[in-house]
Amino acid sequence: MKEISPKEVEHMLSDGADMNIIDVREAEEVAEGKIPGAVNIPLGLIEFRKQDLDRSKEYVLVCRSGGRSGRAAEYLEGQGYQVVNMTGGMLAWEGNTE
């Protein structure tokens, strides 16, 4: 499984990179703040929402600490999607939130 650090994501976003970020936390966690532009698909719904994802795009998966997003990344990778897990999750995120 590919991984990316929160700092790398922050730098890429500040450089204007077009990133597809999926936050797999529950809605009440996301309400406390998420990476700008991230789409919330809770881990329990990934299996049912995967058809909404484009296999030709790469997705950065985020959660609170990196565990749930790691499980989501393993699942989606096994389904043929291009995914990267953000290590440390939102606990390690120092950038802006919305």
* Catalytic residue annotation: 63
List the strands of the sheet with 39-40, edge to edge: 2-4, 82-86, 58-62, 20-23, 39-40
Alpha carbon distance 98, 95 (integer Å) = 10
List alpha helices for the chain, DSSP H.
6-14, 27-30, 46-49, 67-78
